[in-house]
Chains A and B, each alone.
Chain A
């Protein structure tokens, strides 16, 4: 029998190869995303490049905050987004609205309904202005037991005002995930676990209020059982906490290790804690003599540990991994490769 190699390859080997390759490599990667939290939308070239090289799928775009206004005795939007860039990146845009928890204290059902209506209306106006067709809308509120009912009423109503095809998501803190029966499970389609801001402000060198994996370890086991689909948000930012007379009084958002070297007014108490030898201004904030400044940074090793800790403890399917937030100032500390590695941890 004469073997026709071409026929054999076409008939047997190629299909088997494709079969194997499909079964082995048909992996669905977790969608990649960033939050964008500045109130004026404009991407630097570095930020645009980061979105494209990392093959980011989504951008969680902060649309506005809702805060209580003492003057009008009602809640009003703050920091409503302005668009300096005419075009948006070619990724899915998810509008995000931050709501102060105190707004929901003692709020009646009808007031929640009115607030939900106004909020969705403003989101719609912004979407329509930038021709955004969202598939998901996210609310960010650190609700507590005392505000749970009102916040959930707000969410239920907001959902009613949205077309069915739009998913509603909320941000979740670790304690809300650990105690779902106490804090309640929000009536939404999915949640984003904010895996940051988890520690207390403390000038001790070893503590980091942004990412505290010891603290997180107490909560991590609860993730698998949480009934909502979970996306994960991880921190990229750094800050400095200012302590005066024993109390944390301010956070300097653009303060990192590099800032210290240019400030002769500071004296190191240890690696990341400093005291002010004299009073001085830093970015319009006045630091008094004897104030303590503690720098809290996220480094790639910590981020990697966090990713490993999380990836083994959350359901695999359909989860988006989000970095907070897209800002080129963080790229020096955590570069593209480090971010890529973190994303890959979840695949």
Chain B
């Protein structure tokens, strides 16, 4: 048979997404992985081989991650079997993507005995893979209730038969392996263990099969609660078979200390013990370091374990990870007094027991002591780590000593130039109590250094500049302490809710700063690195003025903004209904599509008309329309888009934190309060009512006043809402008492269930 043309067709027919994978968690375990960023991103020759464990190397494909590509290794083994007569692409198609019908066709057309035997194997492999895909553990919107055991059993029998009958050891090994895998997938753990012991040892498994089989065997042992043995084999796979190192490390999971001690006892030599301590070190790096140093101070695992320990302290110290949830946010008043969420933190987690026994300090002391005692080629790494932990835990004097030692030990081999620069920068910032012009000059220089601006990928693969962000956060904290809230905001937006209170005053200050013509080097750096530009700030001022109802001022300023991009409102902001339905408003045909600008113009026009028109009916209608505009621009209305600017986004973020923390409305930002306030609308509905002599119209005004009162209630209350409280707004009572004979009243009764319940009481 001529393979090549057929295979080309076959591949073209079967270029389906390659979803096949043999890797599957053998122990169904998972692990806590430090997912966040680190500032201690020291490079070390050994790190590359362990990069699956490094915090900033984490990705969701970790279970399929190894240092070598198993598929390629397997393909090479088959290539050898076919005496290099078939391309690797074709072999991969046969192994991973060819469909069963194609393989069957291939078998029909195949003449050479060895090829035929191989294709028979591929068919069985594909068939069993299809069965594996029906595993109920597979996440899918399809429902696969159970493994089809009967089909599995038939395939297992066939595999065993082929194993016994196989004419060559290459295929015999593969059938043996396939049998093992199917037994494992069919949860026949005892049979899986027996099969491995009785049959696979005799065929002298080689290459990838040796470790793939060992992993299924170990997985079955684990399921049979033979943890010590299972974990020992996982450690062997980790050490000897790079393609599955990641998987094996994640499967390694002692159940109790007895299991762990029994696993250590199985180690045949110090090297195997080192590997075991290394895997153990993922849970307890300090203990693992102690054990490893005791048996081999030059172990290649030590730098990694040290890094892991440092990362743990970083994680625990909270200081580095301020981008996290609201449990650590703070804000401050005009005098620079800082209010932080420690009280919130305490209400969630806190207690007097917290912090008394802190592992971070234990780790710091251990690293410092070892850095002094330890004398190996990695001594500089230890002193750098000690310096960093000292800085993290505010032991600045100790940090200084360790930085000096690191400088003395630094050379071309260990190349810690960048780390030294980072440590020195953090030290300088941390020990600066007051920032003055001179300090700012120093900061502008050190913060621009390439070492401080190195980018790292976070867990989502996005490049972030964690060192710079951390340094700027520290500087920001110092500005907060000395009462310079503007510069604190410019340095770092994180967790300092600058615009939360005195919003417009602070926006004006920011505008003045960003409009400056004579920046110092530091100020220029701050203005360029700030998340928002002058236009953003101006638009926010416009928005705040709009919500302060200073429409003319807002319009004047809006007209001055260069490159202002007007957004059209989704609905007409001057219409109103008994029951609000924003989606319905958005779908209604609109003669005029309003923008922030045209809305402001219309509000100014209406205001003038109210002022000048002598006809009371018209005056009343203008008041009503004006009130509609006020109502709709609020959170309750259909024109929320008017509020959108950087301040709104921040208010939304704050609100998210406040909601998560279940805090009271007092924590809300100024802008949130403006945005949710309907009292001005209520005032103008009352004026509309006052000028009107039409009872129907008065009923409508009264109903809208009731809706404003309801909104006020939503905004202010932190008390339990019970039925009676909700329904007894003043305007409800007025509506019922004075306008129950109007058609509008009847419509309200019909449409609004709450009011109906109130009215029928």
Interface residues of A (CB under 8 A from B): 69-71, 76-78, 80, 82-83, 118, 121-122, 125-126, 129, 144-146, 175, 178-182, 200-204, 219, 221-222, 225, 243-249, 265, 269, 273, 275, 279-284, 286, 288-290, 292
A288/B257 in contact, CB under 8 A: no
Partner of B358, one of A126, A284, A290: A290
B353/A70 in contact, CB under 8 A: no
B60/A246 in contact, CB under 8 A: no
Residues of chain B lying within 8 A (CB to CB) of residue A248: 349
**Interface residue range, chain B:** 35 or more
- Interface segment among B36-44, B136-144, B470-478, B619-627: the answer is B136-144
Given contacts A122-B141, A129-B143, 13 further A-B contacts (CB under 8 A): A70-B60, A80-B139, A82-B136, A122-B143, A129-B145, A146-B655, A146-B659, A200-B347, A221-B722, A245-B316, A246-B354, A289-B362, A292-B357
Interface string of B344-376 (1 = CB under 8 A from A): 000111111111011110100000000000000
Q: Known: A71-B61, A281-B254. Is A77-B140 also a contact (CB below 8 A)?
A: yes
Q: CB of B287 within 8 A of chain A?
A: yes
Residues of chain A lying within 8 A (CB to CB) of residue B61: 71
How far apart sit A179 and B726, CA to CA, in the bound complex (Å)? 11
B726/A71 in contact, CB under 8 A: no
How far apart sit A179 and B350, CA to CA, in the bound complex (Å)? 26
Q: CB of B532 within 8 A of chain A?
A: no
Residues of chain B lying within 8 A (CB to CB) of residue A282: 256
How far apart sit A77 and B317, CA to CA, in the bound complex (Å)? 35
A284/B253 in contact, CB under 8 A: yes
How far apart sit A76 and B284, CA to CA, in the bound complex (Å)? 33
Within 673-729 of B, Cβ neighbours of A (below 8 Å) are at 713-714, 720-723, 726
A246/B359 in contact, CB under 8 A: no
Residues of chain B lying within 8 A (CB to CB) of residue A178: 720-721
Q: CB of B260 within 8 A of chain A?
A: yes
Interface centre among B60, B136, B720 (most CB of A within 10 A): B720
Tell me the minimal C-beta distance from B150 to chain A in angstroms: 15
Partner of A269, one of B353, B656, B660: B353
Residues of chain A lying within 8 A (CB to CB) of residue B254: 281, 284
Residues of chain B lying within 8 A (CB to CB) of residue A82: 136, 145-146
A218: nearest residue on chain B (CB-CB)?
B720
B724: nearest residue on chain A (CB-CB)?
A225
Q: CB of B29 within 8 A of chain A?
A: yes
A76/B139 in contact, CB under 8 A: yes
How far apart sit A78 and B362, CA to CA, in the bound complex (Å)? 39
Residues of chain B lying within 8 A (CB to CB) of residue A292: 353, 357
Q: Known: A181-B721, A275-B357. Is A281-B256 also a contact (CB below 8 A)?
A: yes
B357/A201 in contact, CB under 8 A: no
Tell me the minimal C-beta distance from A88 to chain B in angstroms: 13
Q: Known: A247-B349, A281-B256. Is A180-B721 also a contact (CB below 8 A)?
A: yes
Partner of A279, one of B139, B284, B360, B723: B284
Tell me the minimal C-beta distance from B288 to chain A in angstroms: 10
Residues of chain A lying within 8 A (CB to CB) of residue B655: 146
Residues of chain B lying within 8 A (CB to CB) of residue A269: 353
Q: Known: A281-B254, A281-B255, A288-B284. Is A80-B353 also a contact (CB below 8 A)?
A: no
Q: CB of B662 within 8 A of chain A?
A: yes
Tell me the minimal C-beta distance from B224 to chain A in angstroms: 15
Residues of chain B lying within 8 A (CB to CB) of residue A244: 316, 359
Residues of chain A lying within 8 A (CB to CB) of residue B229: none
B349/A83 in contact, CB under 8 A: no
How far apart sit A70 and B60, CA to CA, in the bound complex (Å)? 7
How far apart sit A180 and B723, CA to CA, in the bound complex (Å)? 10
How far apart sit A248 and B29, CA to CA, in the bound complex (Å)? 21
A180: nearest residue on chain B (CB-CB)?
B721
Residues of chain B lying within 8 A (CB to CB) of residue A201: 348-349
How far apart sit A154 and B726, CA to CA, in the bound complex (Å)? 27
How far apart sit A339 and B309, CA to CA, in the bound complex (Å)? 48
Interface centre among B143, B255, B655, B721 (most CB of A within 10 A): B143
How far apart sit A71 and B433, CA to CA, in the bound complex (Å)? 46
B143/A125 in contact, CB under 8 A: yes
How far apart sit A203 and B360, CA to CA, in the bound complex (Å)? 19
B662: nearest residue on chain A (CB-CB)?
A175
A204/B351 in contact, CB under 8 A: yes
How far apart sit A207 and B348, CA to CA, in the bound complex (Å)? 12
Tell me the minimal C-beta distance from B188 to chain A in angstroms: 15
B355: nearest residue on chain A (CB-CB)?
A246
Q: CB of B330 within 8 A of chain A?
A: no
Partner of B354, one of A69, A146, A219, A243: A243
A221/B720 in contact, CB under 8 A: yes
The binding surface of chain A is classed by DSSP as: mixed
Q: CB of B283 within 8 A of chain A?
A: yes
A144/B720 in contact, CB under 8 A: no
How far apart sit A181 and B721, CA to CA, in the bound complex (Å)? 8
How far apart sit A178 and B254, CA to CA, in the bound complex (Å)? 45
Tell me the minimal C-beta distance from B257 to chain A in angstroms: 5
B713: nearest residue on chain A (CB-CB)?
A181
How far apart sit A83 and B145, CA to CA, in the bound complex (Å)? 7
Tell me the minimal C-beta distance from A148 to chain B in angstroms: 11
B140/A202 in contact, CB under 8 A: no
Residues of chain A lying within 8 A (CB to CB) of residue B136: 80, 82
B144: nearest residue on chain A (CB-CB)?
A80
Residues of chain A lying within 8 A (CB to CB) of residue B284: 279, 286, 288
Residues of chain A lying within 8 A (CB to CB) of residue B362: 289-290
Residues of chain B lying within 8 A (CB to CB) of residue A245: 316-317, 355, 358-360
B659/A202 in contact, CB under 8 A: no
B350: nearest residue on chain A (CB-CB)?
A202
Sample of 24 A–B contacts (CB below 8 Å): A69-B139, A71-B61, A77-B139, A78-B139, A118-B141, A126-B145, A129-B143, A175-B662, A179-B720, A181-B714, A200-B347, A200-B348, A203-B351, A204-B353, A221-B720, A225-B722, A265-B257, A281-B260, A283-B255, A283-B256, A284-B29, A284-B253, A284-B255, A290-B362
How far apart sit A225 and B362, CA to CA, in the bound complex (Å)? 54
How far apart sit A200 and B343, CA to CA, in the bound complex (Å)? 14
Partner of A146, one of B60, B656, B722, B723: B656
How far apart sit A144 and B257, CA to CA, in the bound complex (Å)? 42
Q: CB of B259 within 8 A of chain A?
A: yes
How far apart sit A182 and B662, CA to CA, in the bound complex (Å)? 12
Tell me the minimal C-beta distance from B279 to chain A in angstroms: 11
Interface string of B645-672 (1 = CB under 8 A from A): 0000000000110011010000000000
Tell me the minimal C-beta distance from B185 to chain A in angstroms: 14
Residues of chain A lying within 8 A (CB to CB) of residue B723: 225
B726/A181 in contact, CB under 8 A: yes
A76/B287 in contact, CB under 8 A: no
Within 54-87 of B, Cβ neighbours of A (below 8 Å) are at 60-61
A200/B146 in contact, CB under 8 A: no
How far apart sit A341 and B322, CA to CA, in the bound complex (Å)? 49
B358/A246 in contact, CB under 8 A: yes
Residues of chain B lying within 8 A (CB to CB) of residue A283: 255-256
Tell me the minimal C-beta distance from A297 to chain B in angstroms: 19
Residues of chain B lying within 8 A (CB to CB) of residue A290: 357-359, 362
Residues of chain A lying within 8 A (CB to CB) of residue B256: 280-283
B141/A76 in contact, CB under 8 A: yes
How far apart sit A249 and B283, CA to CA, in the bound complex (Å)? 13
B720/A222 in contact, CB under 8 A: yes
Q: Known: A244-B316, A245-B358. Is A280-B349 also a contact (CB below 8 A)?
A: no
Residues of chain A lying within 8 A (CB to CB) of residue B726: 181
Residues of chain B lying within 8 A (CB to CB) of residue A125: 142-143
Tell me the minimal C-beta distance from B486 to chain A in angstroms: 30
Tell me the minimal C-beta distance from A16 to chain B in angstroms: 41
How far apart sit A122 and B316, CA to CA, in the bound complex (Å)? 41
Residues of chain A lying within 8 A (CB to CB) of residue B32: 249
Residues of chain B lying within 8 A (CB to CB) of residue A175: 662
How far apart sit A184 and B254, CA to CA, in the bound complex (Å)? 47
Within 307-356 of B, Cβ neighbours of A (below 8 Å) are at 316-317, 347-355
How far apart sit A182 and B655, CA to CA, in the bound complex (Å)? 13
Residues of chain B lying within 8 A (CB to CB) of residue A288: 283-284, 359
A40: nearest residue on chain B (CB-CB)?
B136
